[in-house]
Amino acid sequence: MPVEDRLYIGGDWVAPEGTGVIEVFSPATEEKVGQVPEGTTADIDKAVAAARTAFDAGEWTRMAPEERAQLLSSLSATIQARADEIARLITNENGSPYSWGIMGQVFASTMVADFYTGLAKEYTFSEERVGTMGNKALVRKLPVGVVGGIVPWNVPLFTTMLKLAPAMVAGATMVLKPAPETPLDAQVLAEIAHEVGIPAGVLNIVPAGREVGEHLVTHPDVDKIAFTGSTAAGRKIAALCGERLRRVTLELGGKSASIILDDADLSQVVPALVPAGTMNNGQACVAQTRILASRDRYDEVVDAIAEAVGNLKVGDPLDPETEIGPLTAERQRDRVEGYLASGREEGAKVVVGGGRPAGQPKGWFVEPTVFSGVKNSMRIAQEEIFGPVLSVIPYDDVDDAVAIANDSDYGLSGSVYGADVDTATEIAGRVRTGTTAVNGFMLEFGCPFGGFKGSGLGRELGPEGLEAYLELQSVSLPA
Ligand code: NAD
């Protein structure tokens, strides 16, 4: 069991300023699986000072982007070499099925790192322009400075890499605050960063809760906050950053819709759509939990989805056969059960699931569930449940389907399924969402990822995700 009594700050393992600890419990066995020090505001101060010194001293910022990317590449290779261990660790922290975790938690993270390693070679960090008086001018893209990275528990390493990889290529430095549920994989990241020779102070890690996180957000020596988490916390952080004119990127919640057109082949739709709704036990911001089916094919769609969801293998998340593990925390299960009750009270019908699975005396499990007869105004259709709960909503025609998809406070992901790709692509363009897909769902690491509306501000991934860590400087040169 990993038990760490020091924090990684300034390129060294240092004693914490406080005496508190964060204990991590397996969501499957409810047994303790690790422990780290609980960071305090004084630890954040120390970490920010280390990140500031590393940034201001200039060695890191003066390195060529390719040199920094070389370190990122080594980081990625070492994570890959320890993929099995890290996937198991994350499964023990948050209950993510190992079968999904190896790809969704670990390889997805290294693919992001590898994308930015490649981009560093071709991205233009300085370009010459013709000045107003015919003189020469330069447009430079400079690192944003010290970044506070705040990440959630559901995909901890991946959401970290979405920030760390472009920050490193840009030449920024970072204080990372992992969620208290998942501090153990961040300790491994620190070990690897140290081993591959990332310079002191470039990455500092302080696991802690909200109040200490807020100290990082408001710290005067931080230049930018990169946050992934709930929309409620995102609003608070945006307000705090707004008061300080601090740069901020927010990746927040979602309640995404999959539109099944009438000509879609259900035998192809269902195997893509069910994992897109239930991946990571439904604890995914991009989960497509509103399934929109025409009234003509409604019963057929409900039956096909219910059959597939009913066949999902629920159980020990470390078993490679398991498709649905426990929810991350007991309070998370309470929350999901509250939504199961709310759906029933508002008149939706449970077609499959709806309770706790039999044969799981320990662990925070809920059955994968499908509701039919769902109206888009119901809470189960409007609010992010963050559990394996799908709602099938009927629509009258394509315009109605688009209106229902857009009738949401969120706009993070989505998909359209249909026989004609051009038609489906056109319809996808009418849905107000930052990421969408046709006949499947995939995050494209070379393309920007982020939300419309309450799903966030700014973008990660793609060259746009690097630009979120750059400041523009225009230099006018003599003629
Ligand atoms: P959360 O907002 O409660 O916490 C996320 C992180 O922010 C944690 O590290 C937490 O300690 C910290 N935090 C919370 N309030 C803070 C504050 N006021 N100041 C500083 N730090 C603060 O979210 P959660 O429950 O841990 O994660 C689930 C949420 O994350 C869901 O809403 C999910 O959709 C969202 N999410 C979004 C994406 C995305 O890319 N859009 C990806 C993964 C998860």
Q: pLDDT tens across 266-310, in order?
A: 999 999 999 999 999 999 999 999 999 999 999 999 999 999 999
- For residue 381, being part of any structural domain is answered with yes
Find the CATH number of the domain harbouring 39: 3.40.605.10
Q: CB count, 10 Å around CB of 391?
A: 27
Pair 376, 436 in one domain: yes
Q: Identify the CATH number of the domain in which residue 414 sits.
A: 3.40.309.10
The pLDDT tens digits for 95-116 are 999 999 899 999 999 999 999 9
Nearest to 241 by CA among 139, 142, 144: 144
Print the SS3 string covering 195-258: HCCCCCCCEEECCCCHHHHHHHHHCCCCCEEEEECCHHHHHHHHHHHHHHCCEEEEECCCCCEE
Atom of ligand 1 nearest to the CA of 229: 30
On whether residue 384 sits in a domain, the answer given is: yes
Whether 93 and 75 have beta carbons less than 8 Å apart is answered as no
**Claim: this prediction has a pTM higher than 0.95:** yes
Q: Could you tell me if 356 and 404 lie in one domain?
A: yes
Cα of 247 vs centre of ligand 1, distance in Å, is 18
Q: What is the pLDDT of residues 12-46, one digit of tens each?
A: 999 999 999 999 999 999 999 999 999 999 999 99
Specify if 122 maps to a domain: yes
Task: Evaluate: CB of 236 within 6 angstroms of ligand 1.
Answer: yes
Distance from the alpha carbon of residue 227 to the mean position of ligand 1, in angstroms:
7
Residues 231 and 336 in one domain: no
Please say if the pLDDT value at position 479 is more than 90: no
Same domain as 248, residue 270: no
20 CA to centre of ligand 1 in angstroms: 22
**Any idea which residues carry the catalytic annotation?**
251, 285
Residue nearest to atom 21 of ligand 1 (CA): 213
Is 68 found in the same domain as 21?
Answer: yes
Q: Is the CB of residue 150 below 6 angstroms from any atom belonging to ligand 1?
A: yes
2 lies in some domain: no
Q: Are strands 173-177 and 203-205 parallel, antiparallel or unpaired?
A: parallel
Same domain assignment for residues 157 and 199 = yes
Does residue 77 fall inside a structural domain? yes
Which residues face 141 on adjacent strands?
472
**Together in a domain, 235 and 263:** no
Stretch 193-208: mean pLDDT, rounded?
A: 98
Q: Are residues 341 and 466 in the same domain?
A: no
Report which protein residue has its CA nearest ligand 1's atom 19: 214
Mutate to test the pocket of ligand 1, among 38, 285, 433 (most ligand atoms within 8 A of CB): 285
pLDDT at site 425: 98
**Cα–Cα distance for residue pair 444/108, rounded to 1 Å:** 11
Distance of CA 258 from the midpoint of ligand 1 (Å): 24
Confidence of residue 1 (pLDDT cuts 50, 70, 90): confident
Is the same domain home to 176 and 136?
Answer: yes
228 within ligand 1 shell (Cβ under 6 A): yes
Could you tell me if 434 and 334 lie in one domain? yes
Residue 326 has pLDDT above 90, yes or no: yes
Segment among 1-5, 145-149, 260-264 with least mean pLDDT: 1-5
Domain boundaries, position 191: 7-252+455-476
CA 333 – CA 338 distance, rounded (Å):
8
